[in-house]
Amino acid sequence: MIEVSTERTLPQKPLLITTLPGPRAKELVERDRTVTSPSYTRDYPLVVSRGEGCMLEDVDGNVFLDLTAGIAVTATGHAHPQVVRAIQEQSANLLHMSGTDFYYPQMVELAEKLSDRAPFPQAADGKRARVFFSNSGAESNEGAIKLARYYTKRSGIVAFLGAFHGRTYGAMSLTASKRVQRERFAPLLPGVTHIPYGTHASLDYLEEKLFTTMLPPEEIAAIIVEPIQGEGGYIVPEDGFLARIRNLCDRYGILMIVDEVQSGMGRTGKLFAIAKVANSG
Ligand X SMILES: Cc1ncc(COP(=O)(O)O)c(C=O)c1O
Binding site for ligand X (CB under 6 A): 136-138, 164-166, 226, 230-231, 259, 261-262
Q: Closer to ligand X at the Cβ: 163 or 203? A: 163
First to last CA, the chain: 46
By beta-carbon distance, which residue lies closest to ligand X? 137
- Calculate the CA 132 to chain-centre distance: 15
Q: Closer to ligand X at the Cβ: 14 or 70? A: 70
Q: Closer to ligand X at the Cβ: 6 or 68? A: 68
> What is the rounded CA–CA span in Å between residue 127 and residue 111?
14
**What is the smallest separation between the CB atom of 224 and ligand X, expressed in angstroms?**
9
**What is the smallest separation between the CB atom of 134 and ligand X, expressed in angstroms?**
9
> What is the rounded CA–CA span in Å between residue 224 and residue 254?
10
Q: Closer to ligand X at the Cβ: 231 or 238? A: 231
Sheet containing 255-258: give its strands across: 192-195, 156-160, 220-225, 255-258
**What is the smallest separation between the CB atom of 145 and ligand X, expressed in angstroms?**
12
Q: Closer to ligand X at the Cβ: 58 or 259? A: 259
Q: Closer to ligand X at the Cβ: 154 or 165? A: 165
**What is the smallest separation between the CB atom of 113 and ligand X, expressed in angstroms?**
21
**What is the smallest separation between the CB atom of 172 and ligand X, expressed in angstroms?**
10
**What is the smallest separation between the CB atom of 199 and ligand X, expressed in angstroms?**
19
Q: Closer to ligand X at the Cβ: 174 or 203? A: 174
**What is the smallest separation between the CB atom of 63 and ligand X, expressed in angstroms?**
26
